[in-house]
Amino acid sequence: MDGRVAIVTGAGQGLGAAEATALAAAGARVVLNDLAGPALDETVERIRAAGGEAVACAGDVAEWSTAEALLAAATGSFGGLDVVVNNAGVLRDRMIFSMSEQEWDTVVRVHLRGHFVTTRLATAYWRDLAKREGRPAYARIVNTASEAFLLGSAGQANYAAAKGGIVALTLATARGCATYGVRANAICPRARTAMTGALMGPPPQGADPMDAAHVAPLVLHLAGPAGERVTGEVFVVHGDVVAVLGPPTVRATFRAATGVWTPGELDAALSAVFTEDPPRPGFVCDETLPLADTTFGAEAR
C-alpha cells in the first residue's frame, strides 16, 4: 500500500480504527473521519507515533459537505485518492412496531446515505481521473454491511434494511464503475466494538476471536493490489474466518398453463410449496451462523 491514499470513515474506534491503523502500517496515507472528539484524535496520533501518515477530517458522515471535505483532505494533503473504506454506523435497535421515525431515519441516514455520499464523490473523482489519464484508475471501495440483512434481524429492521441497501449499492457501484477501474466489495464483519459490545458481552480472557483487528487483513487485501480481480463480492469475516457469499438462487419457478394466471390456478401452484404452519420466512440465509463454531478452533467451541 506504499504511496496509496485511503479514506476511512468511523475511524475513531472499533473496526474503523483497526482498519485505518492496518492500512497505515502497510504504507497507506490515511484520512480518518468520525465525529469530532478525542477518539478520532487519538487514532491519528497512534498512527503517527508508529511512523504512519494520517490526518483527521471530523464531521457527520452523511453530510455531502463532509464527503467533499474528505476528498479535499485526501487530494490536498496527500495528492490523490485510491481507497475508500466506509465503516461509520450507529444502532437504534427496536422492534418494527415500536420503532420511531427518528430511530429509522438516523440508522438509515448514517449507514446508507453515509456510504452513498463518499461513494458518489469518490467514483466521480476516479471517473474523471480515468478519462484524463486514458486508463483505469487504481480505485477501491470496501463497504461495511452486516449479516443482519441476511437474517432479517427481528429487532433491527432499520439496521437490516440499511445494510441490505449497502450491499445493493456496492453491487451497483461495481457494475457501473468497473470501466473506470473501480473495485467495490462489501464485508459483513463480526467484531466486539463500542457499538456491538452490549450485544456480544465482555471479551474472554486472553485472545479475543471477535477483536476488530481480525477484520483488517481482508480489508487490506481488498484495498491492495491483490484486490484487482475482486469486485461485486460480499464477505463474512471474523476471527480466522473469511467466507465468500454466493448470489441468491431461484427456489422455484411456476408458469401459467394458459399463459395467464387465474387466482385458483395460482393458489394451487403456490399452496403445494408453502406448507409450513405456522409459516416462517423463507428468504433468510442463516448458513453463516455456524461459521462461528470454527473461529479460533477449539477455543471458541
User: Strands of 139-144's sheet, edge to edge?
Assistant: 53-56, 29-33, 5-9, 83-86, 139-144, 182-189, 234-238, 241-244
CA distance 171 to 186: 9
Q: DSSP 3-state assignment of 156?
A: strand
Residues 6+ apart with CB under 8 A from 52: 21, 24, 25, 29, 30
Reading the block at residue 11, the C-alpha cell is 475511524
CB 195 within 8 A of CB 140: no
3-state DSSP: the chain helix, strand, coil percent, rounded to 5? Answer: 45, 15, 40
CA distance 50 to 104: 40
* 131 given a catalytic annotation: no
Which listed residue (125, 138, 159, 180) is catalytic? 159
Angle, nearest 10°, between helix axes 14-25 and 38-49?
20
* 146 given a catalytic annotation: yes
CA distance 114 to 88: 7
Which listed residue (100, 125, 138, 146) is catalytic? 146
Which listed residue (65, 163, 180, 271) is catalytic? 163
CA 237 to chain centre: 11
Active site residues: 146, 159, 163
